[in-house]
Amino acid sequence: MVRGVIFDLDGVIVTTDDCHYHAWKRMADEEHIEFDRTINERLRGVSRMDSLAILLERAKRTYTPDEKEALAARKNAYYVDLITALTPSDILPGVMDVLQMLRKKDIKLAIGSSSRNTPLILKRIGLADAFDAVADGNQITHSKPDPEVFLLASTKLALPPETCLVVEDADAGVEAALAGGMKALGVGSAAVNPTATYCAPNLALANWNAILNA
Ligand code: BG6
Ligand code: MG
């Protein structure tokens, strides 16, 4: 039986995955580094510095550690500019109904996100108090596909990992959930992930009865 659900944030709860793409794209264009949506798929769930390392695979020169810090900071400034405009209307379809349905069943709710901007985003979309626990990029050292962020979330919920379901739009996140001994529901870009325990195009279309009672 599932007793806790741990939600990834970007691309599961809110549309910020597109903001990440536009911020990286702006920085890459300025640096004349090739970057497109296909490459962007590899950044889903991956930390800021690990994402930069993937983007720099196509750079025409090498960057010093200080330059890399500056590039990551510049991308984050562009990103924060975009997410400052977020409102509750940017919450993805089905999220509010599913949170309410899970609450009624006494299932614990958590966020497990690699993003260091998690507190700001939750505040902007009005969900700062909607979860029993938040584990995010400010509290971990290993980014997805490492299970650290999800294990931290299950610890904060005081639930054994095997009683937790992770909802993810990133292949790296599905891998992290399974590595942590949890079940994984792949949605969005991970809706066709063959390793996910369950798949659905979005939260609203998942078969929650089957998932919760398995
Ligand atoms: C994840 C996103 O949620 O957070 C990644 O899927 C992003 O694309 C990562 O790189 C880190 O985000 P931030 O906000 O700390 O730069
Ligand atoms: Mg995501």
Q: What is the pLDDT of residues 97-148, one digit of tens each?
A: 999 999 999 999 999 999 999 999 999 999 999 999 999 999 999 999 999 9
User: 102 CB contacts (<8 Å, ≥6 apart)?
Assistant: 5, 109
Of the three residues 30, 59, 83, the one that is the final residue of a domain is: 83
Q: Which pLDDT score, from 0 to 100, does residue 127 have?
A: 98
Confirm or reject: Cβ of 20 under 6 Å from ligand 1. yes
CATH code, domain with 183? 3.40.50.1000
Our answer to whether residue 10 is catalytic in this structure is yes
Confirm or reject: Cβ of 117 under 6 Å from ligand 1. yes
Q: Which pLDDT score, from 0 to 100, does residue 46 have?
A: 94
Q: Which pLDDT score, from 0 to 100, does residue 19 have?
A: 95
Does 204 score more than 90 pLDDT? yes
pLDDT tens string 169-193: 999 999 999 999 999 999 999 999 9
What mean pLDDT is reported for the chain? 97
Whether 135 contacts 33, CB under 8 Å: no
Q: How far apart are CA 153 and CA 150, in angstroms?
A: 5
Assign residue 88 a region (left: φ > 0; alpha: ψ between -120 and 50; beta: otherwise): alpha
Strand ranges inside the chain, DSSP E: 4-7, 108-112, 133-135, 164-168, 183-186, 198-199
What letter represents residue 62's amino acid?
Answer: T
For residue 72, CA distances in Å to 17, 23, 154 come to: 16, 10, 29
Structural domain of 65? 17-83
Centroid of ligand 2 to alpha carbon of 39 (angstroms) = 15
Instruction: Considering the candidates 8, 17, 169, 171, report the single residue annotated as catalytic.
Output: 8
Looking at the fold, whether 161 and 58 belong to one and the same domain comes out as no
Centroid of ligand 1 to alpha carbon of 139 (angstroms) = 13
Looking at the fold, whether 46 and 71 belong to one and the same domain comes out as yes
Residue nearest to atom 12 of ligand 1 (CA): 115
Our answer to whether residue 81 is catalytic in this structure is no
Helix 65-83 vs helix 16-30: crossing angle, to nearest 10:
140
Strands, sheet with 108-112, edge to edge from the N-terminal-most edge strand:
133-135, 108-112, 4-7, 164-168, 183-186, 198-199
What six digits make up the tokens of 73?
């900071």
The closest-lying atom of ligand 1 relative to the alpha carbon of residue 11 is 6
End-to-end CA distance of the chain: 6
**What confidence tier does 5 reach under pLDDT thresholds 50, 70, 90?**
very high
Confirm or reject: Cβ of 42 under 6 Å from ligand 1. no
Does 214 score more than 90 pLDDT? no
CA 107 from chain centre, in angstroms, equals 20
Number of domains in the chain: 2
Looking at the fold, whether 165 and 191 belong to one and the same domain comes out as yes
Confirm or reject: Cβ of 193 under 6 Å from ligand 1. no
